[in-house]
Amino acid sequence: MTDETAPATQHPLRWAVIGLIFCATLVSYIDRQTVSVMAPVLCKDLSMTNTQYGAVGSCFLFAYALSMWLWGGVFDKVGSRLGYTLAISIWSVAEIAHAAVTGILSLGFLRGLLGIGEAGNWPGATRTIAAWFSNKERALGMGIANAGASFGPALAAPLIIGLQLTVGWRATFVLTGLLGILWLWAWISIYPKSMELESARPLTSNLNEKWNPSTLIPWPILIRRKEVWAIILARFFGDPIWWLYLNWLPKYLSDVRHFSMKQIGASAWAPFLAAGAGALLGGWLSGQLISWGWSVNRSRKTAILFATLLLPAGVGAAYVDSPITALACIGVTLFAFQFWVSNVQTLASDLLPVGAVGSIAGFAGTAAGLGAMIFTFTTGWVVDRFSYTPILLAAGLLAPIATGVLFLLIGSVRRLDIAPEQIT
């Protein structure tokens, strides 16, 4: 079988594709981190309180959440090549336009536009990985994509602060926005124009599809399944943990630990580097367990449960005196979150064929964004009136809730039995 006729799950190009998705995710997190990393400066220059800063973050998350399910349908309809082209074009233009903000309203509007574009990344990544990788490799593929979500913020802190100190915060938005344009050139140059590889039947021994895997499954059928709601609700309760540190870590280090911008740039990357390790190890572990003969159900749940036990470690940051120890506690939490989410995101492709994965990822992403939006705005209100301690405690409770709901509703992780006549 030649490379040209091989299904995507055997095609060597799949590693270039996942490499590009890693880079797209990395760029998206650099772009969204510009405001949070420069928050101490922006809050001063634009006269923002913590509550107003939380509201600006919620503008991004509101648009991000509502757009996520739309992007899932877009990717399922037009494929990965065009879907990613549209998404990254929107978010790169929005990022560059941040250079022209004059106040809270214009900043909030542009954060919303950025959220609309960036909402396409995860439905696109999940669908593309489902199309190009076999079930044994999907969690690793998802882990590689999630590593971009970790290494992006790790790189963002020193990069953005270095740019801000050198050329100012307005030019920083322009330069980070241009990264997406560069990525777009590589994507269009490398990704196949035909959708045939995406829709080719995966060569996985345990799936035995009753329909062409690229067949679209209507969303009313999907949302009637409790297994789909298991993923949606797990993301609603679990993702606010990640967004808490993504949006608030630089401000926390400035407000509570009294770090300067240089100190933030020198230290805020470390917890996200730990997160990157968690993404890769989480994806690798469940795939390795499957290769050892474990069932998909046992492998995914073991990895998810292990991460859940580590996730509350961030609570310790509220009670230690040493900033280094606090960052270590946060690092354990972010390691565990990416370990957890790499496996949770893979569940959609374990349950359903490629043609439904983008939609499920979109639904779950919308729920994740709404949960994060509520938590982000609440964080600003609580910090203005009390402190970060109640927020860190609340974040510690979310992990067992998310996993408990997931395990309760999903039952055994297996291919769902949806009759072909239901989708015709």
- Look over the chain and give the mean of its residue pLDDT values, rounded to a whole number: 84
pLDDT tens-digit profile of 288-342? 888 898 888 999 999 999 999 999 999 999 999 999 999 999 999 999 999 999 8
Whether residue 214 contacts residue 198, with contact meaning beta carbons closer than 8 Å, is answered with yes
**Residue 202 pLDDT > 50, yes or no?**
no
Q: Which of 166, 98, 89, 154 is nearest to 120 (CA)?
A: 89
The pLDDT confidence band at residue 94, using thresholds 50, 70 and 90, is very high
**Residue 264 pLDDT > 50, yes or no?**
yes
CA distances from 163 to 37, 57, 101, 128, 216 (A): 11, 22, 18, 33, 45
Enumerate the domain spans of the chain. Answer: 8-192+213-423
Mean pLDDT of 265-285: 87
The pLDDT confidence band at residue 220, using thresholds 50, 70 and 90, is low
CA distances from 85 to 3, 230, 383, 415 (A): 25, 31, 39, 31
113 or 346: which leads in pLDDT: 113
Q: What pTM, to 2 d.p., does this model score?
A: 0.75
Lowest mean pLDDT among 2-11, 37-46, 272-281: 2-11
pLDDT at 424: 43
Q: Which of 238, 271, 268 is nearest to 251 (CA)?
A: 268
The token pair that represents 126 in the structure block: 């999940």
Q: Under CATH, what is the fold of the domain 8-192+213-423?
A: Growth Hormone; Chain: A; (1.20.1250)
Whether residue 355 contacts residue 217, with contact meaning beta carbons closer than 8 Å, is answered with yes
d(CA 25, CA 315): 28
Whether residue 233 contacts residue 347, with contact meaning beta carbons closer than 8 Å, is answered with no
What is the b/e burial string over 215-230, where b = at least 16 CB atoms within 10 angstroms of the residue's CB? bebebeebeebebbbb
Based on its alpha-carbon atoms, the radius of gyration of the chain, rounded to whole angstroms, reads: 20
The pLDDT confidence band at residue 354, using thresholds 50, 70 and 90, is low
Whether residue 89 contacts residue 24, with contact meaning beta carbons closer than 8 Å, is answered with no
Top mean-pLDDT range of 75-89, 94-108, 344-358: 94-108
Q: Which of 21, 258, 281, 282 is nearest to 126 (CA)?
A: 21
Cα four-point dihedral sign 122, 125, 130, 133: negative
The token pair that represents 128 in the structure block: 């593309």
d(CA 394, CA 396): 5
d(CA 58, CA 310): 27
- Alpha helices, H only, 79-120: 80-97, 104-118
Backbone angles phi, psi at 266, to 5 degrees: -85, -15
